[in-house]
Chain A
Amino acid sequence: MYEFTQMGWLKHVIFHPVEGFEDLRWKKQGSLKIAFVIVFLLFVVMVADRQLTGFQFNHAYVKVFNVVPLLVQSVVYFFTWVIGNWALCTLFDGEGTLKKICVYSAYALVPYIVCSAISIFISNFIVSEEVIWMSAIYYLGLGWSVVLMIQAMKAAHQYSFGKTLVSMFFTLVAMLLILFLAILLLSLFQQVYAFGYSVYTEIAYRIRG
């Protein structure tokens, strides 16, 4: 039973929201490579959303295009989610490993990516009266991904449903903390660098003059 290829497993997981991740865990399946590809596709879809959405729906400020915020919103958020969840699972008695969390979370993102891509595609062919189709597809994907994510975390850590929700909430808090600390660290290093540089210029001037 359940002899699938890696892609077959991905399909199985997506279309069986209730049992899929349990099966995946039971059969010890899931590919890290595919997970990374999915995260990359998430980034691609975010860029596409900004650049390729139909003109009448695109409210982005087109005078400048900066890829860094999009990169942060996709890849960086994903990995902080994974690390935050992993850090929390030790406190919450979860059974998931870092790899499992990463793979399962990535798999759960697939409906969102696919539906976003579809809605971006059709946004080029509809007028604003028909925007309901576009947003329906988008929110369908989003909702589906949320359901899958809950199931993924539940299966990865073998939690009850309630505990899964609690752990996910605290994962969000952990993400905030991680990002806050990262920014703090960055600004501190910047100051250290600025200090070092001013010491260097001071010395350089004294030697020269």
Chain B
Amino acid sequence: MEEKEQIQQHEKQEEKNKNRKGWGILILLFLVVAISIGYAALSSNLNIGGSSKIKGQTWDVHFENISTPTKVGYCTDNGTGEFPAKINELTTTPSDKKDDQNISFSIGMKQPADKYTFTVQVKNSGTIDANVKLNVTQLTTPASNYLNWSVTGISTSSQGELLTAGSSKTVTVVVEYKSTVTQLPTSDITATLAATINATQA
């Protein structure tokens, strides 16, 4: 009798456990199908792979809102089609969006006091604070005899400065034909201006 009762109890418990397992599987199936339908509906081209998100944290420091340049005097397209300045995306894969960018511009200047200025924002759209540092390449002769150029708005010190998540800094780029120049160059001078903004986790 005792053994029969034990068997009955055991079978009852087994039945309960089977039900629990069955419910677990049903809930899992329902959630998978429901969420899949939701994601399929969200993405009109079903491109739901690839993301820069990691557990709700994102790293996204990028350039945006480049301004129309202000010009003083004679500043024209240098024939390369890169006037005014523009932001170039260096990668095309969605997973690397806005990760690699540069800004290019090409201008021709003719006389002292010609000036070309534009601004661009460095935006931290992610959730991780960034430390940003600016490196500006100095002009070399003969260009340095005729041109001044500056990039300001972000610290050039080795420690850099903090760009908190959600904030942005405005960087101003100025290229100027020195107004103090009295002896003009006898031939065209090409100057390569380069600056980099290094962003790492703060």
User: Are both chains from one complex?
Assistant: no
| Chain B contact residues, CB within 8 Å of chain A | none
